[in-house]
């Protein structure tokens, strides 16, 4: 019997249906030869700092840096039940091997391996590696299962990413939070991303617009422009000389140009386009595309490739025809050529090929899809048709006109062949999207010839201003994240073996901040943490975000440094760098960061100053104030360990929580009367007085029924 471990219940159901497993079990689906089960995202995660030493429950400078010698893991909050199901199935004697069927990427590999190791399983593992949830793709994937060991380097890269984020996040956040007396979340990727936003706003704020002036001739049927000038008087002088004079066409240059079809979408370019056209956030686009993938309507979304592989060539004509048939806005007789060579490149496909619709789209009823999913599917469909289409051709004409010894130029553009842009324009029209400037035929010139004269032309000055950089949108921020630090990266040449898309070692370079799969989550985290605000499509750093970047060193906010780390993770994934070497570098950087910041910058301390938290009561051990926090009530004394945890087992077993009034009563009176305490033995509730009994090491509680009426 083989156990298949999927990442989500919906994926498990699709795989079970293909394999003929139909018997529903507890957290699984059983068949004759297969048991299909699932995780719910991460079931196992890195343990909190307090799991290593109890003193780490408090945030204190003297405890930093926290550098675990041996990493510990724990069940993810609220997911213990499903983890126990997987533990039972992995240890089931009837199961002789395991198939990892989590998402085929770095994070999916980590989700499975952590569960496998946490449950102490040693059974042989094979890997299912697919880019589509269609039945044929699933069957083909099971026929080509690979040994799990082939993906060890992918797992090591994922583990290093996870551990590096923990080290930088825990130590940097505690360091600067303690220094400045406020919760300041610092992250390996999110902080450099915030720095990009802060830097852009600083440039915009410092920008001083400058005017420029352009002499313009009005030639009745078209206009011609002179050179831009910074001095208004010079431009006025040119117009004064030319106004009312005759002009002559001195030169006409025509050049035929071709515009190649666009590439297919990877996740980042899809997110950018969806933000620009529809205003979707990066996370929304990922969610919509993931849902389409699980509905078998598109291929795997978390990809960094914009090409397909050679084995996909035979199916392209049928796919293009099926997809086009579902796009009602396309002209009836629109040519549908399939130039496969434009989208095929094995060397530029790493874990997964570009995102494209599946043949299922041609048979599906799309009207029932949510609006967001319909929009994304239409984007994927039209991009496929454009990418395999013919080149777009146009003629560009540049006319030079002389007037009173001064030269003026005018440009015109004429479409010779629509090519791939015919499909794109139909899409834009359907979604009421204005054509981009470089797509338009604007500026069409009349029929002209060299030597042609224009009498008594009118001349005037057109005033313009230099423009500041634009505020970031998710479109442009994703682009900046993707390219951050790329100019400082060494050029790579990687020779990919045949069948590279099925291999573990990716051939595409991973540069920039984060990966296509993580960038959306980074942006959302910045917004939720209060460092970034959304206004329409634009993103702005908040005052809190600007202040945070001002106090942080380049070590944690430099996009170039973080991009280099991401580059190194890619090398680990390709087996070119030892994971231990990478982690040593992260640990050394963390030590240096802590040692270099022993005290806050006094000039910036006031930025994060806030009133001291009110005391809930006096500590029974040392007499210091006990302060409330998210996880409970803690003594403010530097060396005292007294704590009343909200999740205390005594209270949770009675279905109660230590609230502020309860904590205050326990600290002042040593007891508190509580109604409707739950009895695990009888299932009934009762009233009693809870008494605090502090041993000096542990805060214990007992029930006093004799003093029931006291509070």
Q: Which residues are catalytic?
A: 300
> Could you please report the per-residue DSSP string of 508-562?
S---SSS-TTTHHHHHHHHHHTTSEEEETTEEEE-HHHHHHHHHS-HHHH-HHHH
Strands (E), 609-666: 615-618, 625-629, 632-635, 643-645
Outline where 596-635 has alpha helix (H).
Answer: 602-605
Can you read off the two tokens belonging to residue 583? Answer: 């982690």
Task: Collapse the DSSP code of 247 into the 3-class scheme (helix H, G, I; strand E, B; otherwise coil) and give the result.
Answer: strand
Angle at CA of residue 297, ends 293 and 298, nearest 5°? 60
Please answer whether residues 570 and 510 qualify as being in contact, where contact means their C-beta atoms are separated by less than 8 angstroms. yes
- The residue written with tokens 């202040």 in the block is 547
Which of 521, 512, 518, 517 lies closest to 565 in space, CA to CA? Answer: 512
Angle at CA of residue 494, ends 492 and 498, nearest 5°? 160
Beta bridge partners of 677: 686
Print the SS3 string covering 145-168: CEEHHHHHHHHHHHHHHHHHHHHH
Please answer whether residues 98 and 3 qualify as being in contact, where contact means their C-beta atoms are separated by less than 8 angstroms. yes
Contacting residues for 425 by C-beta, under 8 A, at least 6 apart = 418, 435, 439
Residue 232 and residue 588: Cα distance in Å, rounded? 58
In the chain, what's the furthest Cα-to-Cα distance?
A: 114
Can you read off the two tokens belonging to residue 365? Answer: 């009823």
Angle at CA of residue 141, ends 137 and 144, nearest 5°? 145
Can you read off the two tokens belonging to residue 707? Answer: 């003093």
Residue 528 and residue 522: Cα distance in Å, rounded? 10
Beta bridge partners of 467: none
Radius of gyration of the chain (CA): 32
Which of 37, 41, 43 lies closest to 13 in space, CA to CA? Answer: 37
Residue 395 and residue 413: Cα distance in Å, rounded? 6
Residue 627 and residue 631: Cα distance in Å, rounded? 11
Please answer whether residues 127 and 116 qualify as being in contact, where contact means their C-beta atoms are separated by less than 8 angstroms. no
Q: DSSP letter at 484?
A: T
Pairing type for strands 2-6 and 97-101 reads: parallel
Strands (E), 385-486: 392-403, 406-417, 453-454, 458-465
């Amino acid at each position: 019997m083989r156990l298949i471990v999927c990442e989500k219940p919906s994926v498990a159901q699709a795989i079970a249906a293909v394999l003929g497993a139909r018997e529903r079990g507890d957290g699984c689906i059983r068949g004759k030869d297969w048991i299909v089960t699932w995780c719910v995202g991460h079931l196992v995660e890195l343990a909190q700092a307090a799991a290593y030493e109890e003193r780490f429950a408090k945030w204190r400078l003297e405890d930093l840096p926290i550098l675990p010698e041996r990493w510990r893991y724990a069940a993810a909050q609220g997911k213990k039940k499903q983890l126990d199901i997987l533990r039972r199935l992995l240890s089931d004697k009837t199961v002789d091997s395991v198939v990892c069927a989590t998402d085929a990427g770095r994070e999916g590999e980590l989700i499975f391996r952590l569960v496998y190791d946490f449950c102490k399983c040693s059974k042989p593992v094979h890997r299912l590696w697919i880019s589509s949830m269609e039945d044929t793709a699933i069957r083909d994937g099971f026929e080509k299962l690979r040994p799990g060991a082939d993906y060890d380097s992918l797992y090591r890269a994922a583990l290093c990413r996870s551990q590096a984020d923990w080290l930088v996040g825990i130590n940097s956040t505690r360091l600067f939070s303690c220094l400045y007396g406020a919760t300041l979340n610092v992250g390996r990727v999110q902080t450099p991303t915030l720095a990009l936003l802060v830097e852009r706003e600083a440039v915009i704020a410092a920008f001083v617009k400058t005017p420029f002036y352009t002499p313009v001739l009005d030639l009745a049927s078209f206009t011609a422009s002179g050179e831009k000038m910074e001095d208004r008087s010079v431009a006025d002088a040119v117009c004064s000389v030319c106004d009312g004079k005759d002009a002559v066409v001195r030169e006409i240059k025509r050049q035929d140009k071709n515009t190649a079809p666009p590439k297919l979408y990877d996740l980042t370019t899809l997110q950018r386009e969806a933000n620009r056209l529809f205003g979707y956030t990066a996370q929304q686009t990922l969610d919509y595309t993931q849902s389409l993938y699980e509905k078998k309507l598109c291929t795997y979304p978390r990809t960094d490739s914009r090409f397909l592989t050679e084995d996909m060539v035979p199916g392209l004509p049928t796919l293009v025809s099926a997809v086009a048939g579902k796009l009602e806005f396309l002209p009836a007789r629109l040519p549908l050529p399939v130039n496969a060579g434009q989208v095929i490149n094995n060397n530029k496909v790493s874990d997964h090929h570009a995102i494209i619709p599946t043949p299922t789209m041609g048979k599906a009823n799309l009207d029932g899809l949510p609006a967001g999913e319909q929009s994304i599917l239409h984007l994927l469909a039209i991009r496929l048709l454009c990418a395999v289409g013919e080149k777009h051709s146009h003629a560009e004409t540049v006319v030079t006109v002389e007037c009173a010894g001064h030269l003026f130029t005018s440009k015109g553009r004429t479409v010779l062949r629509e090519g791939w842009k015919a499909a794109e324009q139909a899409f834009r029209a359907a979604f009421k999207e204005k054509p981009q400037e470089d797509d338009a035929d604007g500026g069409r010139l009349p029929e002209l010839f060299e030597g042609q004269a224009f009498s008594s032309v009118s001349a005037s000055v057109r005033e313009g201003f230099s423009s500041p950089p634009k505020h970031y949108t998710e479109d442009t921020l994703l682009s900046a994240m993707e390219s951050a630090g790329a100019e400082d990266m060494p050029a790579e040449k990687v020779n990919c073996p045949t069948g590279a898309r099925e291999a573990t070692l990716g051939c595409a370079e991973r540069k920039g901040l984060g990966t296509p799969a993580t960038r959306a989550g980074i942006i959302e985290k910045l917004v939720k943490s209060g460092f970034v605000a959304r206004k329409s499509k634009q993103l702005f750093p908040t005052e809190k975000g600007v202040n945070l970047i001002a106090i942080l060193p380049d070590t944690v906010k430099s996009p170039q440094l973080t991009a280099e780390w991401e580059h190194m993770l890619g090398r680990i994934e390709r087996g070119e760098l030892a994971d231990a070497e990478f982690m040593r570098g992260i640990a050394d950087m963390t030590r240096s960061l802590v040692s270099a910041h022993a005290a806050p910058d006094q000039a910036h301390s006031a930025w994060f100053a806030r009133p001291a938290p009110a005391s809930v009561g006096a500590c029974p051990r040392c007499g210091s104030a006990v302060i409330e926090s998210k996880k409970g009530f803690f003594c403010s004394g530097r060396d005292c360990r007294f704590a009343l945890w909200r999740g205390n087992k005594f209270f949770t077993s009675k279905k109660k929580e230590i609230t502020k009034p309860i904590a205050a009563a326990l600290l002042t009176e040593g007891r508190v009367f509580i109604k409707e305490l739950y009895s695990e033995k009888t299932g009934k509730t009762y009233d009693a007085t809870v008494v605090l009994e502090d041993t000096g090491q542990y805060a214990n509680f007992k029930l006093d029924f004799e003093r029931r009426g006291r509070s």
